Amino acid sequence: MTETQALLSAQEAKHATQLDYLRRILLAPIYDVVVETELTQLTKLSARLNNQIYLKREDQQAVHSFKLRGAYNKLNSLSEEQCIHGVIAASAGNHAQGLALAANKLGIKATIVMPKTTPEIKVDNVRRFGAEVRLVGNSYNEAQTAAIEYAKAENKTLIHPFDDIEVIAGQGTVAKELLQQLPNADVVFIPVGGGGLLAGMAVYLKQLSPSTKIIGVEAQDSACLKAALDAGKPVDLEHVGLFADGVAVKRIGAHTFELIQHYCDEVMTVSTDEICASIKDIFEQTRVIAEPAGALSLAGLQKYCQTSKGDEKLAAILSGANMNFHTLRYVSERCELGEKKEAILAVTIPEEKGSFKRFCQALGNRTITEFNYRYSGKPSAEIFVGVRLDGSVQERQELLQGLVSANYQVRDFTDNELAKLHVRYMIGGKNPSNAEDSKKERLFSFEFPEHPGALEKFLDAMGEHWNITLFHYRNHGAAFGQVLAGFDLDKNQQEAFFKHLDALGYQWQEESDNLAYQTFLN
């Protein structure tokens, strides 16, 4: 075969794949359980961002997520033999509920393996749809391993949540509806976890509306697609963030990655704060509380608008609304930071009467959201202050310049994660043991999966060999627990201490040089 013939053969194979997926999406028999969801124009956000912004409302499905589409399409494709012993899947969220309802509608016995840490509301929903629930392990990976073993031992058919042709085609029906509702969209933003939704939508949109730009949106701490694109193949992330649990995937799918490489124009990442800000925007426009993964694509859309030309038709997919209620505390705290509507500052003021009042006067008519102070007996004091802003970079700069002009020493901690997660909630002054020559306080942040007893398990793992000088933990309803801990360590202890940290199995990072710590706690 000549080089030209080989190239033509590859092009023909690609064309055949395109047509096959197009056919599967167009003929997907899902609408006896799936509803065609609305495309809602976000008028207030459109005016604010100078674009026509639309939200595809997958929260309107019976399981409040798009996952029902792929699960039902997959089960419809199974033979009678594949269904005799039932189907099985591992999931702690939307795939579990989608598969449970799909199996119930088709009269197929379904078993869902879920981590023991899964919120009770999700377990109850899966059981309500008629599926058997088996609680195994404390993580998705442990549940997945168990599901594979159960499938082999009990001859059950394993249903993958995203890396399956029929699942991908089912998710692609979102694009079919979107194109009918908004035929001339300029850009479509699609959330990325394992890639099933992005792959299915992209392969459909690029064939029928090739001028539409397709942007995949990932959480910064779960960017498995970006890692795969950089490596040229799917790779495992060492860690994934758990806040946007619906997209907390360590490795992009093989099928999904191949399609995304061909049909997706761009991939971008967004922060937790930006996701929280979009959850708030969705609520204010629709009165729907999106889950973090559900608001991911709108966060990407808003980030895109910061540098785009404007006056475009932009669509984002609200992929799910299965929010753990207690997570709202965390979302509420972080959304203003995502919108840049709060500045977090460290300001040095004279330790004398009237200093607080004069500082407040220097802020003008701005609202103070937080004010922390601890007397230290020194000529000057460090205060930790939060100030409400209008969201513009210009106002934040004007605030900083105004304080500097008033002869205040100011440090901006608005983008300092340690300050936002821990320092703002801590009081008590600095560590007196740092005056000793023999020991030195060193600071570390830790992250672990949140579940009942998680903090106790963490403390057991830390052991009792080192003196803890500082400790901050706050259960704010997120899927992960975060601890800030200080330890008095002499030189002889350090080697053993770091070996112990490496053996813990928790994600950790030293924060001893963090400016927020050096300013307020050290």
How much is the CA Rg of the chain, to the nearest whole Å? Answer: 26
Residue with tokens 């994934």: 240
Mean of pLDDT over the chain: 86
Cα–Cα dist 140/118, whole Å: 9
Q: For residue 66, is it within any domain?
A: no
The residue assigned the tokens 């200080």 is 486
User: Are residues 478 and 406 located together in one domain of the fold?
Assistant: no
Query: For 79-114, how does the pLDDT look when each residue is reduced to its tens digit (9 = 90+)?
Result: 999 999 999 998 878 899 999 999 999 999 999 998
pLDDT digits (tens, 9 = 90+) for 195-223: 999 999 999 999 999 999 999 999 998 89
User: Does residue 374 share a domain with residue 233?
Assistant: no
Tokens of 267: 């991939």
For residue 445, being part of any structural domain is answered with: yes
Among residues 336, 362, 380, the one where a domain terminates is 336
Q: Assess contact for 200 and 164: CB atoms under 8 A.
A: no
User: Is 162 among the domain residues?
Assistant: no
Q: Is residue 72 part of a domain?
A: no
Domain limit, last residue, from 310, 336, 362: 336
CA dihedral 56, 59, 60, 66 (to 10 degrees): 80
**Burial 275-285, CB ≥16 within 10 A → b, else e:** bbbbbbbbbeb
- Evaluate if residue 477 carries a pLDDT over 60: no
In the chain, % of residues over pLDDT 90: 48
- More confident of the two residues 507 and 14: 507
- Give the residue ranges of DSSP H helices in 318-411: 328-338, 355-363, 393-405
Place of tokens 């029906």: 173
pLDDT at 66: 96
Q: What pLDDT was estimated at residue 10? A: 47
Q: 317 and 437 share a domain?
A: no
Looking at the structure, do residues 183 and 332 belong to the same domain, yes or no? yes
For the chain, percent of residues with pLDDT exceeding 70: 89
Q: Do residue 389 and residue 464 come from a single domain?
A: no
268 and 409 fall within a common domain: no
- The set of residues, in sequence order, having a beta carbon less than 8 Å from that of 231 and lying 6+ positions away, is none
Looking at the structure, do residues 310 and 194 belong to the same domain, yes or no?
yes
Can you tell me the distance from the alpha carbon of 335 to that of 327, in angstroms, rounded to the nearest whole number?
Answer: 12
Task: Determine, yes or no, domain membership for 12.
Answer: yes
Domain end, chosen from 384, 415, 446, is at 415
- Of 56, 67, 280, 313, the catalytic one is 67
> Is 476's pLDDT higher than 70?
no
- 426 burial via Cβ count (<10 Å: 0-12, 13-18, 19+): middle
- At 305, the amino acid letter reads C
In this structure, are 406 and 328 located in the same domain? no
Q: CATH number of the domain that 465 lies in?
A: 3.40.1020.10
More confident residue, 140 or 114: 114
How much is the average pLDDT of 361-378? 78
Give the residue ranges of DSSP H helices in 28-63.
Answer: 43-49
Q: Is the pLDDT of residue 131 over 70?
A: yes
353 within domain boundaries: yes
Domain total in the chain = 4
Tokens of 286: 């629709």
Active-site entry in 65, 297, 319, 445: 319
- Residue 125: which domain range? 86-155
Same domain? For 136 and 258 the reply is no
Helix (H) or strand (E) holding 318: strand 313-318
Q: Please confirm, yes or no, whether 67 is among the known catalytic residues.
A: yes
Structural domain contains residue 363? yes
pLDDT of the residue at 8: 40
What count of other Cβ atoms lies within 10 Å of the Cβ of residue 9?
A: 11
Does the residue 200 lie in any domain? yes
pLDDT digits (tens, 9 = 90+) for 405-430: 989 999 998 888 788 777 777 765 56
Same domain, 432 and 396: no
Same domain for 292 and 409, yes or no, is no
Q: If DSSP states are collapsed to H, E and C, what string results for 366-381?
A: CCEEEEECCCCCCCEE
pLDDT in tens, 316-365: 999 999 887 778 878 887 776 656 678 889 898 888 877 878 888 888 88
Is the CA virtual torsion 288, 293, 297, 302 positive or negative?
positive
Q: Is 319 assigned a catalytic role?
A: yes
- Same domain, residue pair 513 and 435: yes
Rounded Cα gap, residues 474 and 482, in angstroms? 7
User: Mean pLDDT throughout 292-303?
Assistant: 95
CATH number at residue 236: 3.40.50.1100
3-state SS string for 129-165? CCCEEEECCCCHHHHHHHHHHHHHHHCCEECCCCCCH
Cβ neighbour number for residue 410 with a 10 Å cutoff: 17
